[in-house]
Amino acid sequence: MANDIALSVDGLRKQFLLSHSGAASLKTALLWWRRRKLEHFVALDGVNLQVGRGECVALVGRNGAGKSTLLSLISRIYRPTSGSIAVNGRIAPLLELGAGFHPDLTGVENVVFNGIILGLTRKQVQARMADIVRFAELEHHIDSPVRTYSSGMLARLGFAVAVHVDADILIVDEVLAVGDFAFEQKCYARIEDFRRSGGTILFVSHNMESVRQIADRCVWLRGGKVEMEGAPESVITAYQGDRSEVDL
Amino acid sequence: MKAELKELWRFRELLFAMVERELRIRYKNSALGFFWSLLNPLITVLVMTVVFKYVMNNDTPNFSAYILAAYLPYLFFQLTLLDASQSVLVALPVVKKVYFPREILPLASVFSNFIHFLLAILVFFAYLLVVYLLDPRISPFSWTILLLPALLLINFALAAGLSLIVSALNTFYEDVKYIVSVLLYLLFFLSPIMYFSETVLYSGGLGGRNQLIYFLYHLNPVAMLCTAYRKVLVPPQPVQVGENFYPALPLDWGLLGITAAMSLAALIGGYAMFNRMKWRFVERP
Ligand SMILES: Nc1ncnc2c1ncn2[C@@H]1O[C@H](COP(=O)(O)OP(=O)(O)OP(=O)(O)O)[C@@H](O)[C@H]1O
Ligand SMILES: [Mg+2]
């Protein structure tokens, strides 16, 4: 892969098995065994996408268009049904609301753990601890168990860890509108810094204002296919003009 | 499998962090928490000893040490499987967001429980020492203790292999953990914890097929491990069956070999099975 490409997705297809049987248990599996029909749902259907190093690409599309599925495939959460994904560098997903925080552990303990999950070593997290805490502005609470935090405080801490892991590619799925207004501005400023230092960003948003504000390029997904891609303004105009029914 | 192991090694720091986190949560960040968590087995053993001595009139000296020597490994096995069966399911919100080798989740349950088990064995040694100081006729240790690391290794392999299987299955079928807990409960009675394994050989109620049944009984790796721990940790002692006393049997190397082979097979098979299923965890219905 060429060195100026951060991410290359080729003929990507993802198919899910649809479930009609409710709870996942041996009991239902046995009861439904004869009546089970295997129905497949194609969430992504031959997606091609290239993201250059240092580029900021926005994914837009209706609910169920496959945006989160695409991001998950890129982060290696799912395995593609077919097609390929090549990544140049380290990926960090922005976790929403501190997913992975344990309520009984303190802020510091959770930061260490989350940092390691995102690929840092323990030493690296400890070296960045002061920056992370300062960024989240949680100096007074960082030694209390996170169950005492408000949801906004949790989100701040989660975001602070994610932006301090120094990944090459940041993956953001609709998590920027979590803190209060001042913190949101801070997040955008931080993302701007990240880009200036050569980081690549792939993000999903339903907020066209933020797409206009930070994206270099916009990709519109529709029914698991790339409907259109190009300059944000023209793609947003086309996307907002789309009045067809969504078929979920 | 080689590639998977390499990937696991690359993420070893996460495994350590997860083990540390589980122990922290379990001990609530205090040394007292560790002793607190030993309270349950100690009370259980105390009750068992009292029942044996006074209700069933069995006066094997220092009987509680013999119970502990088998009960602690059983407890390790039980707690590990129950923890592991839930491990992937409770971590699903993270699993859906971040990539890391999924086997780290059940393995963290195995390692943290194993560390807990090792600490409990240390406490057990302290207990033996106290008993010895109170009554010097009961000797605390013998050379057989050198075999302990081998038993621990076999036990670890068995627990890890079955944990991988159970955690993968329970992610798709959430009632697997109930089945596992019932099986573990039965296993308690089918393992020589409240009685001696020699009892099986000398029991009068087996219609003369004692040899065969003794052999089949020890094909259960947990029963074999309990027997072996007892032989290794505490000195042999005549076994009372009914009115008669029988000499203790030596450790049966053939049977232990079978258990070791089964444990290794469980580990390799369990890891292979987990790896086949792990990519579908996030897509479960
Ligand atoms: N595990 C799964 N099993 C079955 N179907 C799934 C699974 N995950 C996603 N899907 C389906 O794939 C489609 C795409 O989902 P996805 O989450 O990618 O949508 P999205 O574009 O992120 O939508 P939104 O804007 O609502 O977040 C949906 O129709 C969804 O039902
Ligand atoms: Mg989504």
List the one residue out of B229, B69, B235, B62 whose CA is nearest residue B143. B235
Is position B270 within any domain? yes
A17 with B283: Cβ contact below 8 A = yes
Mean pLDDT of chain B: 91
Q: Percent of chain B at pLDDT above 70?
A: 99
Residues of B in contact with A27 (CB under 8 A): 175
Residues of B in contact with A121 (CB under 8 A): 13
Sign (positive/negative) of CA torsion B265, B266, B268, B273?
Answer: positive
Mean pLDDT of chain A: 86
By DSSP bridging, strand A82-87 and strand A5-18 are: antiparallel
pLDDT, average across residues B178-199? 94
CA A188 to ligand 1 center in whole angstroms: 27
pLDDT reading at A176 higher than 70: no
Q: How confident is the model at residue A97 (pLDDT cuts 50, 70, 90)?
A: low
pLDDT, average across residues B127-147? 84
Task: Considering only the beta carbons, identify the residue of B93, B100, B282 that sits closest to A78.
Answer: B282
Q: How far apart are CA A188 and CA A163, in angstroms?
A: 11
Q: How far apart are CA A82 and CA B170, in angstroms?
A: 28
Nearest CA to CA, how far is B19 from chain A (Å)?
11
pLDDT reading at A75 higher than 70: yes
Tokens describing residue A228:
């259109």
Nearest CA to CA, how far is A14 from chain B (Å)?
11
Residue environment code for A146-181, b if the CB has 16+ CB neighbours within 10 A, otherwise e: beebeeebbbbbbbbbbbbbebbbbbbbbbbebbee
A68 Cβ inside 6 Å of ligand 1: yes
pLDDT reading at B12 higher than 80: yes
pLDDT reading at B204 higher than 70: yes
A43 Cβ inside 6 Å of ligand 1: yes
Is position B80 within any domain? yes
Q: How far apart are CA A27 and CA B144, in angstroms?
A: 47
pLDDT at A242: 81
Q: How far apart are CA A168 and CA A4, in angstroms?
A: 12
Phi and psi of A59, rounded to 5°?
-105, 125
> Which residues, including other chains, have CB under 8 Å from residue B34's CB and lie 6 or more apart?
B27, B116, B119
Number of domains in chain B: 1
Q: What is the pLDDT of residues B248-282, one digit of tens each?
A: 899 999 999 999 999 999 999 999 999 999 999 99
pLDDT at A18: 79
pLDDT at A225: 93
Q: How confident is the model at residue A67 (pLDDT cuts 50, 70, 90)?
A: very high
Looking at per-residue confidence, does A96 or B95 come out higher?
A: B95
pLDDT at B32: 81
State the CB neighbour count (10 A cutoff) for residue A67. 25
pLDDT at B22: 92
Secondary structure (DSSP) of B213-238? HHHHHTTSHHHHHHHHHHHHHS----
pLDDT at A36: 63
Q: Percent of chain A at pLDDT above 90?
A: 49
Is position B285 within any domain? no
Q: How far apart are CA A118 and CA B45, in angstroms?
A: 44
10 Å CB burial of residue A116 (0-12, 13-18, 19+) is: buried
Q: What is the pLDDT of residues A1-25, one digit of tens each?
A: 667 899 999 999 999 987 766 667 7
- Nearest CA owner, ligand 1 atom 6: A16
pLDDT reading at A248 higher than 60: no
Q: How far apart are CA B222 and CA A40, in angstroms?
A: 43
Residues of A in contact with B285 (CB under 8 A): 17, 19, 21, 24
A105 with B173: Cβ contact below 8 A = no
Q: Which of A77, A110, A143, A144 to mutate to test the interface with B (most CBs of B within 10 A)?
A: A77
A14 Cβ inside 6 Å of ligand 1: no
Q: How far apart are CA B190 and CA B204, in angstroms?
A: 17
pLDDT, average across residues A24-33? 74
Q: What is the largest CA-CA distance in chain B?
A: 64
Closest A-chain CA to B104: A117
List the one residue out of B226, B184, B188, B192 whose CA is nearest residue B73. B226
Domain span at residue B247 reads 2-280
Task: Considering only the beta carbons, identify the residue of B18, B28, B173 that sits closest to A26.
Answer: B173
CA B166 to ligand 1 center in whole angstroms: 28
pLDDT at B233: 93
A95 with B97: Cβ contact below 8 A = yes
Is position B180 within any domain? yes
In angstroms, how far is the first alpha carbon of chain A from the final one?
35
Q: What is the pLDDT of residues B18-70, one digit of tens each?
A: 999 999 888 876 778 888 888 888 888 888 888 888 887 777 778 889 999 99
Is position B20 within any domain? yes
- Nearest CA owner, ligand 1 atom 31: A64
pLDDT reading at B180 higher than 60: yes
Closest atom of ligand 1 to CA, residue A72 = 18
Long-range Cβ pairs for the range A16-19 (8 Å, 24+) = A16/A40, A16/A41, A16/A43, A16/B283, A17/A41, A17/B283, A17/B285, A19/B285
